[in-house]
Each structure stands twice: as C-alpha cells, then as structure tokens.
Chain A
Amino acid sequence: MLLHNRREMLRTSALGFGGLALADLLAAAEPAPAPRLVGARDPLSPRAPHFPARAKRVIFLFMHGGPSQVDTFDYKPKLIADDGKPLPFAKPRVVSSATGNLLRSPFAFKQHGQSGAWVSELFPHIAKGVDDLCFIKSMHGSNSRHGGALLELHTGSDTFVRPSMGSWVTYGLGTENRDLPGYVTICPTLTHGGVNNYSSAFLPAMYQATPLGNAGTASSLATVPFVKGTTTAAQQRLELDLLADLDRERTTASDAATEGRIQSFEMAFRMQNAVPAVQDLSKETAETHKLYGIDEKATENFGRQCLMARRFAEAGVRFVQCTHSYKWDQHDNLKKDHTNNAREVDKPIAGLLSDLKHRGLLKDTLVIWGGEFGRTPVAQGKDGRDHNPHAFTMFLAGGGVKAGYSHGATDDYGYFAAEDKVHVHDLHATILHLLGLDHLRLTHRHAGRDFRLTDVHGQVVKDLFA
C-alpha cells in the first residue's frame, strides 16, 4: 500500500521540496554534512521499511572480472592433492572456454581468528579481521560471461535491462541527505553493461546512481557530472537569485512542477558544495589515510574509493558502490595478477571495515564484497582459470549479519556450489531483507506487470542473520 501510494505520487505530482531558507544554503558544508531531512512529498525522502531493518545502508565493494574462490577464501585440500588430475565429474554443459585438468592454488592458505576462517596469503589484512566477516561459499549465478554475470549481479537479470539493486533500495527507502545523491557509484565500469549496472531502468530517473567518474578516472578526480563549472560562486549566486525572481514572477499558485524546478536549483547549488566536501579527504588524519593505504602507490586508488565510501555512508547516502575495475579476469597469469589485484584492495578493504567498526557504523552498514562469478578449479592454459558462475565466494559484514560465520560449501574441488546454495537472486532477497524490505513486496508496475529485483525467484537466507 505504501509503495502503491509512492507510485501514485511519483506519477501524479511533481517534486515539491520542503521549503529551505536561503541562509541555510550558503553555510559552508563541513567534511561530512549532517543529514538534512526533507519534506514528506519528496519521493527521495526517507521511508519506513516493511519491517524493522538490520542495516540502514549498503557499501558494495565490487571486484570486476571474477576473483577465484579457490585462491582466496574457499580452501580445497583435495584440489591440492589431485593437482594435475582430470576432474572426476562432468564439466558444465555451457562453458566459456576449453579447460584442462585440476590446478591447485599457487597461494598458501591459513586459518585465522577465533572463527578459524581459511584465507589465502593474498589477503593478509582482511585475514586479521575475519571474525567480523560472514562468508557465503556457495554463491552461484546463471551466466558464464562478464556482461551477463555483471548485469545479473547488479540488476537480477542477465538478459534484459532492469533496475539496479541500488535503485531498488533507494526506491524502497529513499535517502537521508538531500544535499547528496541517494545512490552513488564510484568509478563504475564502462563495459559489460556499463550504465545499465547502476541505472534505474523503468524506475523513475531519480533512483539511478549518480556516477563519480568511471573506470578510466583516477578516484582522486572522480566526481558528479556537472558539479564543477567555470562560473565564480558570487556570479552564480547573482544568476540564481535572478532566475528565482524571474521564475516566480510568472508562477501561479498551481504550479507544482515549476516551483519544484525553482527549488531544485537551490538543491543543486548546495550539492555543488556538499559533494566536493564529502570527497575532500584532506580533512581526514594521516593515520586514517594510512589505514586505507592512501599513502602507498598500490593501494592509493582503491583506498580513496573506500574512504569516500565511508564518508558518503556517514553523510546519509543509502547505497555506495566502489568498483575495483576489470582486473580479476585471470585466464592466465593467475599467480602474478591475482597477487597484484589483491594487494590493491586488501589494505583499503580491511581499513574500511575497521574504520566503520571503530566509528560504530558497521552495525547498521551492510558491506558486501565479491565479483560477478568465480573461476574454475581446472586450468585454462598453465596458469589460468576460466569463468565459473557455478561457484564463488562473497562476504558480507556488519548490517545485522553473523560475524565470524561461513555459509554453504562447494564440492571437493570448488567447481560447483553444493551445500546450502545461494543464487544471486537469493543474495538480493537477503540484502533487501536486511534493509527491512520484503523482496516480494518491493515492486514496480511497468509494461503490464509488477517487477521485482528478484523477478520470480529469490529466497531469503536467514542463516546469515545475527
């Protein structure tokens, strides 16, 4: 019912923003501006979930390319024992490339923390915090190609253009700070679906992610489109005042749409300050920079993304995605490239998790880590692995999930998810549930039917809940 009303409102009314005093707007924004609540008629205003939420916001750390589960978190002693032997069962009906025999991981595994979670030597920093993590070892998806798999992970469909996960979340919950976009994606990929991985598709445009740069932009330079111009602040203020006066001169009482537009110029003016303020990492201590690895060349780029993510989350942004761009696709050079990739993200991710925890943000922030699929335990060439949507590992942290827990399992070699399988649709249902949203009720009518993030699938994995 609530959502139905929201739909009605979106359709029939223009945005009417709560009135805001001009003096307010000129106040310089501090590093992380306090959430600014807005009027009830705004379709992006915060909304009550369907049931009490465990998490209020999401930070999704996306590893584009497909990290190998058997080289990171899914320890398979039998794969080591049977290195070089043929796979003793059939390979999937549809594969992306030809592969050979079993290939053991070139990385050493050790158990860590109280939980005794196995982590390979690729992630020494993340390994220290495994007791905060909730691993899903039995992830699986439907598509063996990057494009399909990326789209399925981000939108629930590997075939058609559908609203992205973050769009659904923002549609369901609104956002807590209207001086900032409700859903941001930092340095998103331009390929394998590009914008469609964060678009709102047929949901209203306000639920689309605001991209900060793209995969080709250094994160230090990534920002919101059109947020910087050539006009000085003083001149711009004169122009905005003139614009508002001329617009109001012609406005009649019934003009919701035109009044909404006048307000949106003020919001844009605030956003021009607020976005760069959140992105300005110079206000953070040297210690924090170090924690995220911003002081080191290898980790600087992703470290900045992670620190920005924390600042956006803190400032009330509902859904933040960081993308470690298309690097994890090791059809060959597995040892060298997985080592480099892991080095770039290990410290920043560990830094983000401990910083969130330290600030008390982890309890209601759901952190998600993973790629679009895993990799085969059988070799492609001598030192590579092919795409594998049949098994991969993701981990969650904070936001009401069990800490120091591992869910599901793959077969002896890590080729197929075997126990307590979690499909991407199930993950989506679970994420929405943690945010207080019922994936069956979060719907939008379009082209003759009610659409959901989970389409006709999805089961909430309650075992993950703390």
Chain B
Amino acid sequence: MPSLAGLFFWMDIKLENIKRLNVSKPLKLDCGKTISDFPLAYETYGKLNENKDNAILVFHALTGDQFVTGTNPITKKEGWWVTAVGPGKAIDTNKYFVICANVIGGCMGSFGPRDVNPNNKKPYGLDFPVITIKDMVRAQESLLEHLGIRKLLCATGGSMGGMQLLQFCATFPDKAFSAVPIACSSSHSAQNIALNELARQAIMADPLWDNGQYVLKNVQPKNGLAVARMVGHISYLSEKGMQEKFGRKLQEKADYEFSFDADFQVESYLRHQGYAFVERFDANSVLYITRAMDYFDLSKQFKGGLVEAFKNQKTKFLIISFSSDWLYTTKDNKDIVIALNASGADVSYSEIITDKGHDSFLLDEPEFLKTLKGFIDSMYEKFKNEKRI
C-alpha cells in the first residue's frame, strides 16, 4: 500500500477514522495502465442483516466523499447527504445497511493523485493515471466482495453518483435489485464539459498549482481551486433560485462601496463556498474527477448505444430529475428512461418540481425524499419476497 505521508496536508488527519480496504486484485484501467494493491476508503452506516438483503450502495458526486451522513470525522461537518440518509430518514439506517466508498482519484483516503508513487517516492501529481467512471465503479466492486454482499437491495447516487450508478448497472447487470439514479446523465454534454474545463483552467492558472507538483512544496493552489468551486456552485443553482435567495441584496452594508470587495451577497456566498472547499479538497483530484466525468459516455461503450447498455437488465430503476436543474436536465434524465424503456427494463420516473436546481438532491425536498423512501421501502418488500421464493 502506498505511503500516506503528506496525504492530508491541510488538516490533522486521523487515519483511524477512515476505513480502508486494500484492493490487491489488479485493476486494468480504461487508459491501459493497471493498478493493484491500492487503498479504497469507505464508510458504512446501519447493520447488515443476517439475510444480507438490506444493503444500499451510495455513489458520491464530484466533491463528495464516503461520509454520507452523521458527522464527517475529518471535516467535523455534517455528512453530505444527511437530508436523505440516517435513522428515520428516507434511506433509514435503522433498517438498511448503507455503504459508500470514496472514488479512486479522490482525496478522502482512496487511491488518488496525492498518494506517493513507489517508483520515485514522490506524490503522483499528474503521473497519476487518468481514470474513468468505469474505473471508479469497478474498483468499488471489490468492496462489495469484501463486505460479503452478493446482491444489493438498492444502489443510488446523484449527479456524478448517478453516472457511476448507470455504469455500475451496465457493467454488473445483476448486482443490484433496484437502482435510483438521480439528476444525472448518460453522457456529458458540451456545456457540461465546458464548465468542467473552466474549473480545470482556473486551477491550472494558479501559479501555485505548478503543473500539479504543489504537494511537494506543501501548498495548495487555493485561489484557483476556489474559483473552480465557484463555477460549480453557480451550476448547482437555478437562475430563479439564485434570484430568490440573493437577488441584489448587499452583504452587511447599506450601499455600494465602489470597490471590488464582495458588495453583493451572492459574491460573498461564492467566496465563502470557494474558500471553504479548499480546506477539504485536493486540486489535482478535481482535475482527475472532472476528466472522468467528461469522458463518460455510456452509449459509446456499447454497439447499438444506450439501449444496448441496458439490455437484459433485471434491476428495477427509478430515475428522478429536478425541473430547474440545468446541469443535468430533465431531458438528459428522460433520455435514460427512454433507453431503459426501449430495452424493456423495469423503470419508473419522476420529475420533482422545484426552483432549487441541481442541488435539490442534497436538500430537504419533501416530494423528492417521499418518492425515494416510497421506492426503497417497496423494493425491500419485493426483494425479501423474491429471496424467500
């Protein structure tokens, strides 16, 4: 296992708080390189029951990590999906066993660009292999094996988590009894790629980035990374949502200051989000993960396109989109539904009407959470019955 020296330079990391699996099985990546003996960090919530039929795998989004709910032991903040997962929540951890792994390429303990390259004893930086969504998903299969789970009750994820899930279902058609891809797409659009490129260029334009070698100097290209995060945040909100939340309101001042300080609340919000992010995320990880998203095109992997990708699916799907999401639109999500329908799969679809944009899946959206809960609970009853037969 690569050394962890310098892995979390920006905080006093306590590794005992991170569960890590050493994946010894070699994994041939899409780029052609093979990795083996790499760490995969994960967290679990709730208890796996005797029949092992209550396991739910959650895939996290671009800037997420394995700490889905409760308190993140590293950042000391709430888990990123505390609205949906936890005791008594839509995904009830009193009832279900919830698993989430940090994606490879990430920076919360899984194999990533901050890890030390055994060949030269330096952090990989840009020598880290370019990974894909498929690589991320295949790495996580080992975790299910390790936990002794042959078939998941459900797998779910929003945004990039949804993409991982679509890939997971296409690659392993019988590993999940049901699946809930949320606010995602089966391939990145030109606009999606453009926004990611904006984020990457912001990082690369920061002189501290230093061609990805910043780790050696124990610095982080904070300014570039913060701008990258701001770009993301704009794309996660809808125009209307943003207008309602901020409008032209000024930040703790009566009038313009005729300067370039954050006069407007929306500026202050973006700056806060941007600079909070650099405390917990690695710049090179953003490059690698956004690249993986851009390369994602599920239909390209199968002759005959998306319909072929879902052929022979036994998994029962529920696709959810949000009306004001312009990053992964209702149309993007419906295209997945159409493909699933055309391949004869068991698919449900719901569009949640909201002004809150792409971010909706992380928020307390009652209609969304009710739908999610209704689906998972009904699937659990079916899965139990099926197993009994």
Do A and B share a complex? no
Hey, which bits of chain B sit against chain A, CB under 8 A?
none
List the interface of chain A (C-beta within 8 A of B).
none
